[in-house]
Structure 1
Amino acid sequence: MTQRPLTLITGAAGGIGSALARTLAPTHDLLLAGRGGPALDALCAELQAQPLLLDLTRPETFAAPLSGIPRVTNLIHSAAVVELGTVADQPHDVWTHTLAVNTVAPAELTRLLLPQLRAERGTVVFVNSTAGLRANAGWASYAASKFALKALADALRDEEAEHGVRVTSIYPGRTATPMQAKVRAQEGADYTPEAFVDPQTVAATIAFALQAPRDATLPDLSVRPGPRP
C-alpha cells in the first residue's frame, strides 16, 4: 500500500493555511503548525490532523518539537505577519519581528527538516506575496521580508535539486483572509472579501504544485484576482 504524503503547514489556522489543510486532508497526513489555541485545536480535530506547536518568533526553539518527526514529504510555509508603516516611522522591533517570522523562521524550519525532505524527495512551498516582487510605500518591512523569502527559495531550489527536493514560490495578490482585513484597517479602507482572491483558490494552486509530475518543477506561480461574474 502506498504511503500517504505527510505535509507540514505553518500558519495552519490562518486563511490560506486552513484552506490548504482542508484541500489536502483527503489525501495527505497533516502536521498543522501554530502557537496553539482554539482555532488550531478545532482544525486538527476536524481534519484528524496532528498539531505542532511552534513559536515562529523564536526559531532557536524549533529543534526540540521537530525532533520526534520521522518523515516530512511537503513543507508549506504559509505563516506571515504584516505591519504597515513608513521607513521613517517603523522602529527596529517591527523590522526584527517581521523578518523573524517571515524569513528567519522559514529558513530555520527548512534547514532542520531537510534530511526528511531529501529522503522523501519532497516539495517546499513558500507562500510569498506580490510584495515580494515589488515594494510600495508603507510596505518596506513586509516587502523586505518577502524579497528575502524569494532569495531563500531561489537559492534552496538550486542547492537541493541534486537531492530531488522541489521548491516553489507562490505569489498571491490580495487574498480574502483575516490578515487582509487587518491590512485594510491599517490602510483606512473597507474590507470587501469579494474583491480579493479566495483563499481556496490559493490552496488549489499550492495543491497543483505539489501534485505536478516529478519531471517538472514550478519555480514561481502568481495568483491574481480574476474577472468577476
Structure 2
Amino acid sequence: MATHLITGAGSGIGAALTRALLARGDALWLLARDAGRARQLAQEFTPAAEAAGGAVHTLVGDLADPDRLSWAFGHQQLPGELDSVVHSAGVCDLGEVGELTPKVWQATLAANLVAPAELTRLLLPQLRLARGHVVFVNSGAGLRANPQWSAYAASKHGLKALADALRAEESGHGVRVSSVYPGRTATPMQEKVHRQEGKAYREEAWMSPESVARTVLTALDLPRGTEITDLSVRPTA
C-alpha cells in the first residue's frame, strides 16, 4: 500500500486522482483548509477507501496562508513516510496588469507557489524516507503567458522553477520530481475562468479531470531509476 498526500482533493483533478488512488487500495492524506472541510473530505472518500482496503486521513492547513502551515502541522499527526505529494490545488483570477491589485498578486502567489514550496519543505523528511515523488500539477500557463493571465502565469512559471530546483537538490535522496502541464480541463476552476472571460462554459469541450489524473498516475507509476520531468497534456479538439 502506497501513501500519498494530495492537495485540492475536493474537486477537479485532485478529486479524480484521489478516487483513482483509492481504487488501488492506497492510503491517502488529504489536505483541507479547515476542520469542516476535512470532515467533508473524510465523509466523501472513506467509503471508497474501505471498499478497496485503503485508508483516508486528513490534515488541516490553509494554502492561502502558507506562513501558518508549520504551526498547523505542529498540532497534528503527520504521516511517517510519503510515497508522493501531489500539488493539485490552485487559484486563478484574471485581469490585465494595469488592473490587478497587489492583493490579487499576493493571494495568487501564496496559494500557487509559496504554499507548495512550504508544504514540500515540511514534508521532505517523509518523502526522503520513502524515496518518494513530488508531482506539481502546473498548467499550460506555466509555459506561456497570455493577456489577462499575468498573475496566474507568473505563479505557474515560478512553480516550474521550484520543481526544477527541487529535482536537482533532492536527486541524491532518491526523491523524484515531475511537473504536469494540463491544458484546459473541465473543472470548477475552468467554469470560473469562463465567467471571468465572459464566455459560455461547455464542459464537453475540454479534457476530463480523469484524463489528467491518469497522466499523473503515469508519472507516479514509472519504475525507480526513471522520472518524467515535464509532461504536457492537451485536449484533442
- TM beyond 0.5: yes
CA distance in 1, matches of 2:185, 2:40: 20
Instruction: Trace 1:87-106 onto structure 2 (pairs within 5 A).
Output: 87-106=97-116
Aligned residue among 32, 35, 43 for 1:34: 32
Aligned to 1:62: 69
Number of the residue aligned with 2:88:
78
Alpha-carbon offset, residue 65 of structure 1: 4.0
1:3-58 CA distance string (max 9 Å, x none): x1110000110200000000001231001112243752433333341121110111
Q: Distance in 2 between matches of 1:46 and 1:140?
A: 41
2:9 is matched with which residue? Answer: 12
TM-score where L is the length of structure 1:
0.94
- Please report the RMSD computed on the Cα atoms of aligned residues, expressed in angstroms: 1.3
Gaps of 5+ in 2: 50-55
Runs ≥4 residues deviating over 6 A: none
- The residue type paired with residue 20 of structure 1 is L
Instruction: State, as a whole percentage, how many aligned pairs show the same letter.
Output: 53
Q: 1:32 touches 1:44 (CA, 8 Å); kept in 2?
A: no
Offset of residue 71 of structure 1: 1.9
2: CA distance between counterparts of 1:184 and 1:22?
A: 26
1:103 CA displacement: 0.2
Native 8 Å contact 1:32 1:50 kept in 2: yes
1:51 match: secondary structure? strand
Q: Which residue of structure 2 lines up, in the alignment, with residue 120 of structure 1?
A: 130
Once the two structures are superposed, the pairs formed by residues 91-170 of structure 1 within 5 Å of their partners are 91-170=101-180
Structure 1 residue corresponding to 2:221, chosen from 211, 219, 224: 211
Q: 1:176 aligns with which of 177, 186, 189?
A: 186
Return the letter of the residue paired with 2:92.
V
Distance in 2 between the 1:171 and 1:109 partners?
20
TM-score (norm 2): 0.91
Distance 2:48 2:113 in 1: 28
Indicate the residue corresponding to 1:200 in structure 2. Answer: 210
Number of residue pairs matched by the alignment:
224
Secondary structure of residue in 2 paired with 1:168 = strand
